[in-house]
A and B are shown apart, each in its own frame.
Chain A
Amino acid sequence: MGVDEQEFRDFFAGEYWRLRQVGFLLTGDWVEADELTQDAMARTYAAWARIRQRDRAPAYARRILVNRYRSLARRARVEARHRLATRPEDRYEPDLSGDSQLLWEALRQLPARQRSAVVLRFYLDLPEAEVARLLGASPGTVKSWTHRGLARLRVRLGSQYPDKPLQRRGEARP
C-alpha cells in the first residue's frame, strides 16, 4: 500500500460516516445517502493525487456530495424518486418524536437549496462563506436560503417562536 492510499484510508475513516449522515439529512434516505457518499468518496479517491492541501479534502468530498444531491434534486421529481438503487427493505425513518418529528417532516419538504443550506449550517456548523462556496452561491444568497428555510421550519412548529415571525410575503403567519 502506497503512502497516498494509506493517507486516503485515514481520510476515509475520518470523514465517511459524517459525510454519510449529511447525505441522509439531504435525501432522507440511507440508500441514497450511501450512493452519494460512495460516489463522492470514489471521485475524491480519483483526484487524491491532485489534492495537495490534504486539509481541503473534506471540503472537496462535501462539495461533490452536495453537487450530486443538487443534480438529483434538479431532475424531475418522478425520475429522481424511482432510481434502481432504492430497495424497500432499506427504507428507514428516523425514530423522532414531538417537535423533532415535525421539523424532520418540514425539512424534507424544503426546496433543495434551502435544505442544503440548513443542513450545512446547522449540522456541520460551517460558516456562511464555506456553505456559499459549497453551494456555488454568494454568502448573501446562502443567508437568504437559510433564513427562509428556518422560517418554514418555524411555521411548522406553530406559535412557539413568536419573537421571530415569518417574514415572507404572501405566507400566513403562525
Chain B
Amino acid sequence: MTIEEQVRRMLVEAVEAQPTPSSAPFEGTVRRHRRRRQRVAAAAVTALLLAAAIAVAGIGPRGTRPTLVPVAPAVPPVPPGWKTFQNRVYNLRFAYPPDWVVGRDGLVAVPRDLAGPGGSKPSTAGPFAVTLGLSNDHYRFVIQNGTQVTQGRLAGGRAFIRWSEVSSGVRSTTYNIDWGRYCIGRGSQYCGSHAIIAAIQAANPALLSRYGPAAERIIGTLAPIHPTQASTGDPSRPACRPDQWRPVLAAPTKFAFDRPRWVIGGDVEYLGGPACHLQVRLRLTVERADGTAVPVPGTPSELTLAADLPEDGGRSRQIMRTATMWFWGWDNWCKQPLSQARVRVTADGGASTTRPLPPRSAQDPHIPCRPDAPWAITPLR
C-alpha cells in the first residue's frame, strides 16, 4: 500500500464514527444566519449612534471605549496609576500600566508604542503582546502534550502551570491558571473546570527584556470578578465508594512533541451511584508479562487526585480534561530493552489498569532517544 493510500484510509477511518452534532444542523445554520444579520444591523446602528455622539460631544472614540470599567482595587493589589480591565463573560479582571493598551475585549494587552498609530491597533500579531484566553479545560490538561512545566501560584492564590517555548522565532511564556469550577452562559451550557491562559509573546529577546517584567506583573494581577468553586471538587460530599469508579488509561498513545517522552495518561471512569467526592492515590509500576516487577527508576511512582463524581468522571477511555485526569512521563522510554512489559496503574482501593509498552517504532524519528539522558518515570503535574 502506498503512503497516499494509507493516508486515504486513515482519513476515512478518522471520520467513520462521527458523533451527533450538539444541535440540529439545519436549524442551527438558519439561526446563525439570522444572528449574523442582526449583528450586522446592530453594528451599523451602533456606528451611526457613535458617530453622532462624537459629532455632538466632540469626543474621540478612545475616550469612549465601553469595555474599560473602573473597579475597586483588585486582589492582588493594583500598582498605583495602573488601569483596570474586566471581562464579565470570562469572569476576570486585570490591571495594566497606563502606557499599555488593551484590545479585542481584553484578550490582548500591548505596550502603546507597539500597538499601531496612537496605540489604536493592539494585536496578537505584533512584536510583543500579552494574550488572554478562557479554556473550558482543567488548567493541567496541557500536560498531556508532555510539556515540561513549572508550578506556582499567583499573588491572589490561584494555582498555575507555566512553560516557555520558541516557535517560528516567537518566544512565548504561557501560564495556564486554575480558574475554578463555574458555569458560563445561560443554564449549564458551559459548566465545569475552567482555566485562564495568559501568554507573553515576544518577537526577540530585547523586547522580552524591555516589556517582560511589566507583562509578568499584568498576569500577576489577574483575578476573578466573582468567586468560583475549587476545580478539585467539594470535599464536603460523601466519599466515593470503590465500586463507583475505576482508573482507565487513555485510548490514544501519546508522546511529547519536544522530547523522547511517552506520556502515560488516563482518567477516572465513573461507573454509577450517588454524587460523591473522590480523593485517591494512584500508583504506577512497570511489570513483565508474568507480573514480576521491573525496577524502572522513579517507580513505584504515586500521585493523588481530588474531584467530584459524576461531574468530573469520564465515560470511556477518553481524557475528560477535568481534575480526574492523571499523567506520568516516561523519559527516554524508547531506550528500554524490555519486551512483553507493561505499565500498571493501581488505585488505593485495589482497582488497576494496564497498558503494554508501545513499540519503539512509535517514537517520532525527529526526536530520537538521548544516549546519555536518564531513563525514568515521573508524575507530570
* Binary contact readout B1-41 vs A (1 if CB under 8 angstroms, 0 otherwise): 01110111111111111110110011011101100110000
The answer to whether A78 and B13 touch (CB under 8 A), given A9-B26, A84-B184, is: no
**Complex: how many Å from CA A31 to CA B190?**
13
Which residues of chain B have C-beta atoms less than 8 A from A95's C-beta?
Answer: 17, 251
The answer to whether A150 and B14 touch (CB under 8 A), given A87-B190, A100-B9, A122-B8, is: no
Which residues of chain A have C-beta atoms less than 8 A from B361's C-beta?
Answer: 158
Q: How far is the CB of A56 from chain B (nearest CB, A)?
A: 19
Q: How far is the CB of A9 from chain B (nearest CB, A)?
A: 7
Q: How far is the CB of A22 from chain B (nearest CB, A)?
A: 9
B14–A45 touching, CB < 8 Å: no
Which residues of chain B have C-beta atoms less than 8 A from A90's C-beta?
Answer: 19, 22
* Binary contact readout A37-77 vs B (1 if CB under 8 angstroms, 0 otherwise): 11101110110000000000000000000000000000111
A12–B26 touching, CB < 8 Å: yes
Among A31, A75, A89, A102, max chain B CB count under 10 A is at A89
A25–B14 touching, CB < 8 Å: yes
* Binary contact readout A136-170 vs B (1 if CB under 8 angstroms, 0 otherwise): 00000000000000100111111001001000000
Q: Which of A71-104 contact B (CB under 8 A)?
A: 75-79, 81-84, 86-96, 99-104
Binds A, one of B42-50, B203-211, B317-325: B317-325
A30–B10 touching, CB < 8 Å: no
- Tell which of B28, B107, B136 touches A79, judged by Cβ atoms closer than 8 Å: B107
A78–B6 touching, CB < 8 Å: no
A150–B3 touching, CB < 8 Å: yes
Q: How far is the CB of B193 from chain A (nearest CB, A)?
A: 8
A82–B32 touching, CB < 8 Å: no
The answer to whether A103 and B124 touch (CB under 8 A), given A88-B136, A89-B320, is: no
Closest A residue to B361 by beta carbon equals A158
B18–A88 touching, CB < 8 Å: no
Which residues of chain B have C-beta atoms less than 8 A from A92's C-beta?
Answer: 19, 318
Which residues of chain B have C-beta atoms less than 8 A from A34's C-beta?
Answer: 21-22, 25
* Binary contact readout B58-98 vs A (1 if CB under 8 angstroms, 0 otherwise): 00000000000000000000000000000001000000000
Kindly state the interface size class of chain B when it binds its partner. Answer: 35 or more
B365–A158 touching, CB < 8 Å: yes
Among A16, A38, A155, max chain B CB count under 10 A is at A38
Kindly state the interface size class of chain A when it binds its partner. Answer: 35 or more
Closest A residue to B189 by beta carbon equals A87
Closest B residue to A149 by beta carbon equals B7
Closest A residue to B364 by beta carbon equals A156
Which residues of chain A have C-beta atoms less than 8 A from B16's C-beta?
Answer: 94
**Complex: how many Å from CA A68 to CA B135?**
20
Which residues of chain B have C-beta atoms less than 8 A from A86's C-beta?
Answer: 135-137
- Tell which of B22, B37, B133, B193 touches A83, judged by Cβ atoms closer than 8 Å: B133
Closest B residue to A40 by beta carbon equals B29
B136–A84 touching, CB < 8 Å: yes
B197 CB–A CB distance under 8 Å = yes
Q: List 30 A-B contacts (CB under 8 A).
A: A16-B25, A20-B18, A25-B11, A25-B14, A34-B25, A37-B25, A41-B29, A42-B33, A45-B29, A46-B36, A76-B129, A79-B124, A79-B131, A82-B135, A82-B137, A84-B184, A86-B135, A88-B320, A89-B320, A91-B319, A92-B318, A94-B13, A96-B13, A103-B7, A105-B254, A107-B7, A154-B3, A161-B2, A161-B3, A174-B365
User: Would you list the 4 A-B pairs with minimal beta carbon distance, nearest first?
Assistant: A82-B133, A82-B135, A42-B32, A21-B15
Given contact pairs A119-B11, A157-B3, enumerate 12 new A-B contacts (beta carbons under 8 Å).
Answer: A16-B26, A24-B18, A42-B36, A77-B167, A81-B197, A87-B192, A88-B193, A88-B321, A153-B3, A154-B3, A158-B361, A172-B366
